């Protein structure tokens, strides 16, 4: 295996994410997804980042992307293992 410099991949489109005390540049994506028999449209939030750049992301870990709060639903390595992708859930504040 050869060492890759992934910084070029994140240079133009990356946003800042914070999790587990780490700060990293990530690619954020929020495509719409039809659910419940095409009756409801929902966003599927994901971030892609260099493996280990945000520590060990596991279920329910808090993540902020550009200051917006999310929590991890799942995280896995992609492609050759140099990148990870985490699926996120938006955290909404309760109004009292």
Say how many C-beta atoms besides its own lie within 10 A of residue 14's C-beta: 17
CATH topology of domain 7-90: Thrombin, subunit H (2.40.10)
- How do beta strands 15-19 and 22-29 pair? antiparallel
What CA–CA distance (Å, rounded) separates 16 from 4?
21
Residue 62 DSSP class: E
**pTM listed for this prediction:** 0.81
pLDDT in tens, the chain (96 residues): 456 677 777 888 899 999 999 999 999 998 766 666 766 666 789 999 999 999 999 999 999 999 999 999 999 999 888 999 999 999 986 665
What CA–CA distance (Å, rounded) separates 4 from 12?
17
């Amino acid at each position: 295996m050869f060492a890759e410099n992934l910084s070029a991949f994140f240079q133009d489109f990356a946003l800042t994410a914070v999790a587990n005390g780490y700060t990293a540049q990530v690619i954020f994506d929020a495509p719409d997804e039809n659910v419940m028999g095409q009756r409801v449209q929902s966003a599927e939030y994901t971030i892609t980042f260099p493996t280990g750049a945000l520590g060990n992301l596991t279920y329910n870990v808090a993540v902020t992307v550009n200051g917006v709060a999310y929590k991890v639903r799942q995280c896995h390595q992609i492609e050759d293992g140099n990148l990870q992708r985490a699926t996120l859930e938006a955290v909404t504040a309760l109004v009292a």
